[in-house]
Amino acid sequence: MTMEINNTDLSEKIPPSDETDLSGSGAFDDSKLVKLNGIISQGLNPYPYKFEKNEDICEILNKFEDFEENEGLSVRTAGRLYNIRKHGKMIFADLGDQTGRIQVLVRKGNLPDEEFETFKNLVDTGDIIGVQGGIFRTKRGEDSISVSEFILLSKSLCALPEKFHGLKDVETRYRKRYLDLIVNAEKREIFVMRSKLISEIRRFLAEREFLEFETPVLQNVYGGANARPFTTFHNCLGQTLFLRIAPELYLKRLVVGGYEKVFEIAKNFRNEDIDTTHNPEFTMIEVYEAYRDYNDMMDLTEGMVSELVFKLTGGYEVKMGENTINLRSPWRRISMEDALKEYAGLDVFAHSIEELKKIAIENRIVDYEKAKSHGEFLALFFEGLVEDKLINPTFIYDFPVENSPLAKNHREKEGFVERFELFLNGWELANGYSELNDPLEQEKRFEDQDKKRKLGDLEAQTIDYDFITALGYGLPPTGGMGLGIDRLTMILAGLESIKEVILFPQMKRED
pLDDT tens for each residue of 375-418? 999 999 999 999 999 999 999 999 999 989 999 999 999 999 99
Say if residue 144 is in the same domain as residue 217. Answer: no
Least-confidence region, from 21-30, 49-58, 293-302: 21-30
**Domain encompassing residue 431:** 185-331+392-500
Say if residue 93 is in the same domain as residue 148. Answer: yes
* In contact, 44 and 3? CB cutoff 8 Å: yes
Across all residues in the chain, what is the average pLDDT? 92
Residue 486 lies in a domain: yes
Position 21 scores a pLDDT of 42
Say if residue 146 is in the same domain as residue 189. Answer: no
List the end-to-end C-alpha distance of the chain, in Å, as a whole number. 44
Residue 387 lies in a domain: no
List Cα–Cα distances, 459 to 350, 372, 451, 491, in angstroms. Answer: 30, 17, 12, 27
Residue 5 lies in a domain: no
Say if residue 205 is in the same domain as residue 245. Answer: yes
Residue 258 lies in a domain: yes
Task: Show which of 154, 175, 196 is a domain's final residue.
Answer: 154
Least-confidence region, from 19-23, 164-168, 179-183: 19-23
Say if residue 140 is in the same domain as residue 193. Answer: no
pLDDT tens for each residue of 431-472? 999 999 999 999 999 999 999 888 888 888 999 999 999 999
- Listed in sequence order, the residues at least 6 apart from 52 whose beta carbon sits closer than 8 Å to its beta carbon are 6, 76
Domain count, the chain: 2
Say if residue 144 is in the same domain as residue 38. Answer: yes
Average pLDDT over residues 26-39: 92
Position 236 scores a pLDDT of 96
Task: Show which of 133, 154, 175 is a domain's final residue.
Answer: 154
Say if residue 216 is in the same domain as residue 305. Answer: yes
Q: Give the SS3 label for residue 502.
A: coil
Position 457 scores a pLDDT of 87
Report residue 235's pLDDT band, with 50, 70 and 90 as the boundaries: very high
Cite the annotated binding site by residue number: 421, 428
Average pLDDT over residues 176-198: 95
Task: Show which of 154, 175, 202 is a domain's final residue.
Answer: 154
Strands 211-212 and 261-269: parallel
Please report the DSSP string for 364-430 in residue order. Answer: T-TTGGG--SHHHHHHHHHHHHTGGG--S-EEEEEEEGGG-TTBPBPSSSTTEEEEEEEEETTEEEE
Residue 202 lies in a domain: yes
* In contact, 219 and 462? CB cutoff 8 Å: no
Burial of 484 (0-12, 13-18, 19+ CB in 10 A): buried
Say if residue 94 is in the same domain as residue 231. Answer: no
* In contact, 73 and 135? CB cutoff 8 Å: yes
Position 165 scores a pLDDT of 55
Position 20 scores a pLDDT of 38
Say if residue 190 is in the same domain as residue 307. Answer: yes
Average pLDDT over residues 194-221: 97
CA-angle at 247, arms to 245 and 249, nearest 5°: 105
Residue 351 lies in a domain: no
H or E stretch at 102: strand 100-107
* In contact, 474 and 490? CB cutoff 8 Å: no
Say if residue 403 is in the same domain as residue 309. Answer: yes
Residue 78 lies in a domain: yes
pLDDT tens for each residue of 358-381? 999 999 999 899 899 999 999 999
Q: How far apart are CA 489 and CA 500, in angstroms?
A: 9
The sign one gets for the Cα dihedral 399, 402, 408, 414 is positive
Please report the DSSP string for 310-351 in residue order. Answer: HHHHSSSEEEETTEEEE-PSPPEEEEHHHHHHHHH---GGGS
Say if residue 150 is in the same domain as residue 191. Answer: no
Task: Write down how long the chain is.
Answer: 511
Q: How far apart are CA 248 and CA 241, in angstroms?
A: 17
Residue 254 lies in a domain: yes
Q: Name 133's bridge partners.
A: 75, 147
Average pLDDT over residues 243-248: 97
pLDDT tens for each residue of 94-135? 999 999 999 999 999 999 999 999 999 999 999 999 999 999
Q: How far apart are CA 340 and CA 383, in angstroms?
A: 9
CATH label of the domain that carries residue 133: 2.40.50.140
Say if residue 114 is in the same domain as residue 48. Answer: yes
Cite the annotated binding site for Mg(2+) by residue number: 421, 428
CATH label of the domain that carries residue 263: 3.30.930.10
Strands 317-320 and 261-269: unpaired
pLDDT tens for each residue of 38-94? 999 999 999 999 999 999 999 999 999 999 899 999 999 999 999 999 999 999 999
153: nearest Cα among 78, 99, 94: 78
